[in-house]
Amino acid sequence: MKKLFTTLSNIWKIQELKERIVFTLMILLVYRFVSHVVLPGVDATLLGNNEKSGLLGLLDMFAGGSFSRVSILALGVMPYISASIVVQLLGIAVPSFQKMQKEGESGRKKLNQITRYLTVAITAVQAVGYVKTQVPTEAIVIDHALFYVMATFVLAAGTLFVMWLGEKITDKGIGNGISLIIMVGIIARLPIALYQEITSRFVGEGGLIALVLEIVALFAVVMFTIMIVQGVRKVPVQYAKRIVGNRQFGGVRQYIPLKVNAAGVMPIIFAQALMFIPGFIPQFFPSLQNTWLIQFSDYTSLAYSLTFGFLIIAFTFFYTAITVNPTQMSDDMKKNGGFIPGIKPGLATSSFIDDVISKITFPGAVFLAIIAVLPSVAVKFGIKSEFAHFYGGTSLLILVGVVLDTLQQIESYLLMRHYDGLMKTGRVTGRTGIPAATTGSNAVI
């Protein structure tokens, strides 16, 4: 405890770090305040019970409840994340985008500009769909045609405002702005979910013992998730010794940290999107109401969990294959005079890295699938669905990853000022498993 207070005191002594933390907290406070502003032309008292479930419930969680409140920030940062994913995939398939990725800072600025334009286009399309399907007609108190046009522009402006807040946090605050905004939206649901769970235990069955067991189980799940997020396979790399003038370069052994879970939360998001398709089919074909497709409307069913887990494993391999390029890693290593001991440079090195990635991806994919289906298991054990979401899935992975990345940045500030870090070892590794100075600050989750 004394160590913790000493560390917090050291954080407050660093003026730049203190200003960044205060700035971040102020921006997040602004975001939470604006997220409660309802769309113009909507009477909030007439919304009724507008809670969402399924995929819409997941979007509502990412937006911190703004989606169900019909807020001006209802779409949140999801259009920006969608645009970022599209640009990232284009960087793999389109040569011109690959060229921009290799142009350094100038190329990054071009890609960011393209991402912003694409965000506007995606937001406009989603805004039209949102006001048509998610805003109750009885809650609209002005001319409907005027409302639809005005709401589309307001929702698009709201998403751009959230994106701007995220960029300001990244530039002048601490941590990744977009990720922190999503994390705050998820955490905002935790107090209500916890209160409902405590009330249900003391009013209903279980009592204090069941509640304590739930908290212990949640702690174990969080520790397990941290292990998966932090897990890396270190591949040794030896750099040739070079002498330039009177200085020696290279000649030391370093490591390439290959992540056990290189795909992050993307496989869960892709799989979850596909899992909602069977549930929508009976709505268009009433004759299929009593078929096996109905099982996929219940995320606690065995068929849903098994299919969901299989899709996550498949998408993990797919996303890892398109985002981790062993050939480029081998070429970069060769250009810098590096080699893996016992492995020939070039094709042999690329094959070796690819083989290592394949071996560590499978257990990582299985563990990711286990984390994803844990909420449904928690519901089976009598835990409220709202609180069960924190036992795994996308929300828990985002929370763990963002917290670790933010702590990593704070750690780097402390170590640069010769203070002890947040841990006794002075080392908090983030999701990439490498020092904060070498990680990109603009990555989205």
| Per-residue pLDDT band at 293 (split at 50, 70, 90) | low
Taking residues 259-277, report their average pLDDT. Answer: 79
Which residues touch 202 (CB under 8 Å, ≥6 apart)?
Answer: 208, 211
Per the CB < 8 A criterion, the answer to whether 266 and 85 are in contact is yes
Using CA atoms, how far residue 417 sits from 17, 402, 435, 438, in Å, is: 11, 23, 15, 18
The predicted structure's pLDDT at residue 439: 35
Amino acid at position 361, single letter: T
pLDDT at 444 over 50: no
Q: Give the Cα separation of 408 and 421 in Å (integer).
A: 10
Q: Is the CATH number of domain 208-391 1.10.3370.10?
A: yes
pLDDT at 95 over 60: yes
Which residue, chain included where needed, has tokens 């396979």?
233
Return the exposure string of 231-246: e unless at least 16 CB atoms fall within 10 Å of the residue's CB, then b: bbbebebbbeeeeeee
Helix, coil or strand: residue 299: coil
Predicted confidence (pLDDT) at residue 27 exceeds the cutoff of 90: yes
- Evaluate whether 319 touches 267 at the Cβ level (below 8 Å): yes
Question: Is 90 exceeded by the pLDDT of residue 29?
Answer: yes
- Report the pLDDT value the prediction gives residue 55, as an integer from 0 to 100: 61
Amino acid 419: pLDDT: 59
* 142 CB-side CA count, 13 A: 11
Output the six-digit token pair for 163. 């994106």
* The pLDDT of residue 276 is above 50: yes
Neighbours of 434 (CB within 10 A): 16
| Contact of 62 with 160, CB cutoff 8 Å | no
The stretch 315-330 carries a mean pLDDT of: 85
Q: Are 64 and 185 in contact (CB under 8 A)?
A: yes
Provide the percentage of residues in the chain whose pLDDT is more than 90.
Answer: 6
Phi, psi of 202 (to 5 degrees): -85, -30
Rounded to whole angstroms, the Cα distance separating 393 from 376 reads: 10
* pLDDT band at residue 212 using 50, 70 and 90 as cut-offs: confident
**CA–CA separation, 410 vs 440, rounded Å?**
15
Return the percentage of the chain with pLDDT > 70, whole number. Answer: 81
445 contacts: CB under 8 Å, gap ≥ 6? 81, 176, 178, 179, 182, 264, 265, 398, 401, 402
Phi, psi of 374, deg, nearest 5: -60, -40
The residues with which 140 forms a beta bridge, in sequence order, are 42
Q: Are the C-beta atoms of 64 and 189 separated by less than 8 Å?
A: yes
Mean pLDDT along residues 250-262 = 78
By residue count, the chain amounts to: 445
Least trusted range by pLDDT, from 120-134, 285-299, 343-357: 285-299
3-state secondary structure of 257: strand
Contact 407, 432 (CB under 8 A): no
**Does residue 193 sit in helix, strand or coil?**
helix
* pLDDT(378) > 90: no
The pLDDT value given to residue 339 = 82
Please answer whether residues 337 and 240 qualify as being in contact, where contact means their C-beta atoms are separated by less than 8 angstroms: yes
Q: Check whether 232 has a pLDDT greater than 50.
A: yes
Mean pLDDT for the chain overall: 80
Q: Which amino acid is at 239?
A: Y
The CA-to-CA distance between both ends of the chain, in Å, stands at 31
What whole-number distance in Å separates Cα of residue 353 and Cα of residue 401?
25
Confidence of residue 3 (pLDDT cuts 50, 70, 90): low
Structure tokens at 386: 């709202």
The CA distances from residue 330 to 155, 307, 325, 355, 403, in Å, are 45, 36, 9, 13, 32
pLDDT classification of 165: cutoffs 50, 70, 90: very high
**d(C-alpha 255, C-alpha 236), whole Å:** 4
* Residues in contact with 284: Cβ distance below 8 Å, sequence separation at least 6, in sequence order: none
pLDDT of residue 112: 87
Q: Which pLDDT score is estimated for 268?
A: 81
Considering only CA atoms, which of 83, 222, 72, 216 is closest in space to residue 154?
72
CA dist 217 and 259 (Å) reads 26
For residue 248, give the 3-state DSSP assignment. Answer: strand
CA angle 416, 420, 423 (to 5 degrees): 115
133: Cα separation from own chain's centroid: 26
Q: Which amino acid is at 15?
A: Q
Q: Which of 183, 192, 193 is nearest to 407 (CA)?
A: 183
- C-alpha 56/C-alpha 65 separation (Å) is 11
* Whether 221 contacts 396, CB under 8 Å: yes
Span 61-69, mean pLDDT?
A: 80
Is the pLDDT confidence value at 432 over 60? no
